[in-house]
């Protein structure tokens, strides 16, 4: 190279060089980069083929910030590895399409998250994959459906009636029939339940909810073995629904306070649910820590540290009663999503379950006046006051 000074635009690009840092920082740096440089062509060829460690491309091939996030999730769920995704739905989609091919059958429990239900009934059948829905409480029905299935899929705590899956019994059935077992652990979070202990091979989270915890991020993650991760990664590289480094950073920042937040979400929800259950305008509370919940016994085993921050309240007065309760709230917001700082509510019959015929909806345990509550981190006495005044306003 001559002594000629490089041009302005070349210097504007190449003068920005990350200084080498050999000190730890409490905040994991964000590698806001799509690509990584190699010393020679062979290094590139070997790294992109995963024959040697290193980074190639942030979409699925890896990124140091994503690695750090995946490592903390694997550590908290007690698995060998984890794979991050752009959303909870991208995680579910990648899991199902990695494990099932045209002609295959997935067995899933009936009370599915709405997006998963829609993927199962509207999208996968177009590609020759069927999803057979079973009652997760009926272990005989689950065992009868398992032989030949490509995957079993359930949720630790199901929406909106807060059914708790007997992961111990379900995991044992899956191992008996050698069917890979997956669970959406979003509502419990790894602070309250680690399904890998019961033999679950894939433990999924929408990090949008408790792991992120602050209503400022969309993401998903699946904790699994390193072989499981390779299968997911191979699909994700081709389908592209992978997490961005900044979202991994937000999720990690959320996780650093997850245990403390879950204690508060759980203690507030338990305290409020028990008090609302006494209110004359409340017909029923769905919260698995209350003895009135059908899964109370299962929850005592599967969720020994508490039943989490979500409950549902059946307000008297049907659809009008449920909506009037939501409209009367001042501190709690009417909004979708869950698991963050703010208390959020939604009337199920008119929103998440609007496509259900009323009879089918009621048969699924979702009454006309049912309102789902995600208890936030506000002072619980303020939330109880707010909910009590809103109940009075439904009279």
Cβ atoms of 266 and 307 within 8 Å: the answer is yes
Distance separating alpha carbons of residues 121 and 351, to the nearest angstrom:
19
Catalytic annotation on 184? yes
CA angle 190, 140, 174 (to 5 degrees): 45
Which of 81, 82, 89, 255 is the binder for ligand PLP (CB under 6 A)? 89
Q: How far is the CB of 330 from ligand PLP (least distance, A)?
A: 25
Could you say which of 209, 261, 284, 372 is catalytic?
209
Which of 81, 151, 203, 218 is the binder for ligand PLP (CB under 6 A)? 218
Distance separating alpha carbons of residues 126 and 27, to the nearest angstrom:
44
Could you say which of 31, 55, 61, 113 is catalytic?
113
Position 113 contacts ligand PLP (CB under 6 A): yes
Q: Specify the residue, 194 or 206, whose C-beta has the smaller distance to ligand PLP.
A: 206
Could you say which of 104, 163, 184, 368 is catalytic?
184
User: Residue 46: how many CB atoms within 10 A of its CB?
Assistant: 15
Q: How far is the CB of 209 from ligand PLP (least distance, A)?
A: 5
Q: Specify the residue, 220 or 228, whose C-beta has the smaller distance to ligand PLP.
A: 220
Q: Is the peptide bond before 160 cis (omega within 30 degrees of 0)?
A: yes
Q: How far is the CB of 18 from ligand PLP (least distance, A)?
A: 31
CA angle 271, 88, 109 (to 5 degrees): 75
Position 184 contacts ligand PLP (CB under 6 A): yes
Q: Kindly compute the dihedral angle of the four CA atoms of residues 131, 133, 137, 141, in this order, to the nearest 10 degrees.
A: -90
Position 94 contacts ligand PLP (CB under 6 A): no
Catalytic annotation on 113? yes
Q: How far is the CB of 154 from ligand PLP (least distance, A)?
A: 11
Which of 137, 209, 229, 284 is the binder for ligand PLP (CB under 6 A)? 209
Cβ atoms of 305 and 188 within 8 Å: the answer is no
Position 96 contacts ligand PLP (CB under 6 A): no
Which of 33, 64, 110, 115 is the binder for ligand PLP (CB under 6 A)? 115
Distance separating alpha carbons of residues 229 and 78, to the nearest angstrom:
14
How does DSSP classify residue 124?
Answer: G
CA 208 to chain centre: 7
User: By beta-carbon distance, which residue lies closest to ligand PLP?
Assistant: 88
Q: How far is the CB of 97 from ligand PLP (least distance, A)?
A: 15
Which of 87, 97, 109, 242 is the binder for ligand PLP (CB under 6 A)? 87
Residues 257-288: b if buried by 16+ CB within 10 A, e if exposed: ebeebbebbbebbbebbeebbebebbbbbbbb
Position 309 contacts ligand PLP (CB under 6 A): no
User: Which tokens in the block code for residue 43?
Assistant: 């290094």
151-180 binders of ligand PLP (CB under 6 A):
155
Going by C-alpha positions, the residue among 200, 326, 244, 274 that lies closest to residue 69 is 244
The stretch near ligand PLP (CB under 6 A) out of 87-95, 169-177, 259-267, 318-326 is 87-95
Catalytic residues: 59, 113, 184, 209
Contacts with ligand PLP by CB under 6 A lie at 87-89, 113, 115, 155, 184, 186-187, 206, 208-209, 218, 220
């Amino acid at each position: 190279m001559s002594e000629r000074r490089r041009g302005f635009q070349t210097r504007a690009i190449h003068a920005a060089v990350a200084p080498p840092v050999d000190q730890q920082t409490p905040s994991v740096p964000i590698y806001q980069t799509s690509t990584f440089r190699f010393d020679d062509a062979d290094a590139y060829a070997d790294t992109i083929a995963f024959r040697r460690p290193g980074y190639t491309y942030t979409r699925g091939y890896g990124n140091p910030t994503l690695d750090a996030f995946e490592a903390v999730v694997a550590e908290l769920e007690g698995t060998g590895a984890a794979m991050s995704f752009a959303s909870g739905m991208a995680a579910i989609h990648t899991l199902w399409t990695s494990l099932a091919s045209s002609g295959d059958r997935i067995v899933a429990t009936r009370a599915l998250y709405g997006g998963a239900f829609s993927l199962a009934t509207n999208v996968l059948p177009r590609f020759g994959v069927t999803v057979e829905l079973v009652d997760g409480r009926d272990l005989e029905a689950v065992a009868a459906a398992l032989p030949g299935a490509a995957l079993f899929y359930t949720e630790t705590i199901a929406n909106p009636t807060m059914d708790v899956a007997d992961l111990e019994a379900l995991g044992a059935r899956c191992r008996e029939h050698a069917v890979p077992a997956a669970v959406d652990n979003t509502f419990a979070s790894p602070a309250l339940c680690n399904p890998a202990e019961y033999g679950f091979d894939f433990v999924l989270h929408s990090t949008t909810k408790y792991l992120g915890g602050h209503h400022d991020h969309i993401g998903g993650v699946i904790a699994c073995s390193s072989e499981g991760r390779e299968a997911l990664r191979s699909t994700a590289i081709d389908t592209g629904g992978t997490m961005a480094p900044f979202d991994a950073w937000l999720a990690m920042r959320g996780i650093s306070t997850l245990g403390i937040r879950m204690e508060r979400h759980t203690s507030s929800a338990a305290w409020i649910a028990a008090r609302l259950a006494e209110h004359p305008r409340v017909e029923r509370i769905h919260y698995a820590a209350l003895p009135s919940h059908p899964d109370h016994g299962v929850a005592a085993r599967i969720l020994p540290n508490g039943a989490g921050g979500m409950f549902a309240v059946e307000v008297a007065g049907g659809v009008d009663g449920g909506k009037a309760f939501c409209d009367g709230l001042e501190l709690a917001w009417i909004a979708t999503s869950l698991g963050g700082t703010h208390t959020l509510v939604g009337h199920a019959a008119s929103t998440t379950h609007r496509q259900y015929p009323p009879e089918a909806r009621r048969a699924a345990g979702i009454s006309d006046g049912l309102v789902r509550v995600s208890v936030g981190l506000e002072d619980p006495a303020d939330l109880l006051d707010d909910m009590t005044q809103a109940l009075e306003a439904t009279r």
